[in-house]
Structure 1
């Protein structure tokens, strides 16, 4: 039986997720309904993607008995209230990153998932790309020896995008794109909490971070550093340096389709979309969707590849980095 999806929000990321879902077998994944805050937006989205039902409120989507799991593609500040709405309605949830605005909110979502006995996963799509799975396999085999350093960069000019620069919309480089660098580092170090965090950054007049440089120290003298920016284009690559070699993602580190392992390149092509995409390599969201399906078929309430503990760690480290740089959201004061 197909996994029955509801799409929460009719924005750009939801468009791309829907396109990605439809690269998977229709017998495995079915989109039942879409909801937006305006019925017209939901209806237009439904027509474009041949979705049978459109709702003008998230509450209606939550009440739909046909929906098994909801993809939450709203802007960051809505992740907590919307995620809580669906989980209280006994819906499984795949929530766009960041899972919430801070650690306290992530803890609330995780607690709600456990109380309502539903599946909850942060949509860190990078974790599920074949290239990422290969990195984990290579590291587990000791292909590059002991990892001593991880370096990652992600910078894209987004100063013209309100949700990236306005505090009330959850803007800021770290929450929007720096999280990809951090999650990659945490993946390489198997979810270990860093012993030391040092962050420096530059803030916009809106009070959010334009850019950050974060250094992390782990046990056994292992380190990592990442840079993120919404003002400039960075190399957007990452490298893992071990005692016996290196693994490099040469471009698009947040959605990798190639690796260079000790100088040898490996390609992982993506399927073609049936409609134009808003973001590069977005058909790669198919992998996180399939992960949700496989977890649900196994009766799991979280993914072993992107666990709730992983999401809690990301939030904790980002909270500390923001504290050092001086980025404070209204959600931090509640």
Structure 2
């Protein structure tokens, strides 16, 4: 049975996700079936560009329809919780862009709802599904790096003036926008929650995030036998212990991406989602509910330290 995707919002990240999906050589038995946006003109233009058959002028209408099986949520951060909740409560699986929610309480609420309704839910940390992440994990598990003791990840870009970073009402902060990539990388490598500023056994993660300048934007894993380095956001190269470089090419598209061409890697999330749903899973072992809960807890802790408080932090969620 074909898995039918509904795209929520006709914005930039949704454009790149659909473009990556539609241009991939073999996505299996799944299609982009519908798009919804509050502005019908934008939704119609989006559908025309990407050859999508069904258009909705409200998220409610798409959530209640029988035209889709799963929703991709590309909305702004403050809308993630309520839109994801809407689709889950209407019997739809959900892949929601990072950050899954503004805080840990909201994430826990969505995890509860997905389990109660027996529906798949995943946070769209696209890096997790790249071939390079898989290759790095294989090397670590094989003991090639020895005992992993240190992780360093840097992500910086001059984007401080962008509304989604600077406006509090939009869930603004570099922590949730790009900091999530550094936090999740340490989590991906150590497979554990840190104890204060260090992990168990003296393991350390040094994470740098800056929204005012361009940083190195790479991640390094250091073990007792050596180190490996890769680009941080969506990696396509991996530098091995002996200095050799492993490269993974991405598929091309006739339609330009809003981001650079690495956005083609967004399709790997869709491949993972389909595989999990076919198996009857409610979460991905590569980006589990626990991973999202720990990530949200870390984001909350960092925000608290730097004094970023959202109104929803004072609310309770079912």
Q: TM-score, normalised by structure 1?
A: 0.92
Indicate whether 1:256 and 2:235 are aligned: yes
* Alignment partner, residue 203 of structure 1: none
Q: Which has the higher strand share?
A: 1
1:24/1:107 CA distance change after superposition, 3 Å: farther
Q: For 1:193 and 1:27, how far apart are their aligned partners in 2? A: 35
Asked if structure 1 preserves the Cα contact closer than 8 Å seen for 2:27 and 2:271, the reply is no
Question: 1:196 corresponds to which residue?
Answer: 196
Give a deviation string over 1:113-170, Cα, whole Å, max 9, x none.
Answer: 0111100000000000000011111110111101110000001111231112111011
Q: How many residues align?
A: 312
Contact 1:2 1:26 in 2 (8 A): no
1:239 alignment partner, SS class: strand
Q: How much has 1:102 moved relative to structure 2? A: 0.4
CA contact (8 A) 1:148 1:242 kept: yes
Quick check: 1:21–1:29 contact (8 Å CA) kept in 2?
Answer: no
Q: Is this contact kept in 2: 1:24–1:286, CA < 8 A?
A: no
User: How many angstroms apart in 1 are the aligned matches of 2:29 and 2:156?
Assistant: 35
Equivalent residue for 1:111?
112
Shift of 1:2: 2.7
Question: 1:265 corresponds to which residue?
Answer: 245
Distance in 1, matches of 2:299 and 2:161, equals 24
Could you tell me how far apart the structure 2 residues matched to 1:274 and 1:2 are? 25
Q: Give the deviation of 1:296 after TM superposition.
A: 0.7
Kept in 2: contact 1:93–1:120 (CA 8 A): yes
> What SS does structure 1 have at the residue aligned with 2:31?
strand
Matching residue within 268, 271, 286 for 1:287: 268
- Which residue in 1 is equivalent to 2:158? 157
Alpha-carbon offset, residue 40 of structure 1: 1.0
**1:225 counterpart (206, 228, 246):** 206
Distance 1:173 1:290 in 2: 28
Query: How far apart are 1:332 and its partner, in Å?
Result: 1.1
What RMSD in Å do the two structures reach over aligned CA positions?
1.0
Cα deviation 1:17-63 (Å, max 9, x = unaligned):
00111114365221110001111111110011000011110001102
Residue 29 (structure 1) aligned with residue 8 (structure 2): no
Query: How far apart in 2 are the matches of 1:318 and 1:28?
Result: 36
Gaps of 5+ in 2: none
| TM-score (ref. length: structure 2) | 0.96
Equivalent runs, 1:110-189 vs 2, <5 Å? 110-189=111-190
SS at match of 1:196: coil
The aligned counterpart of 1:309 is: 290
SS in 2 for 1:294: helix
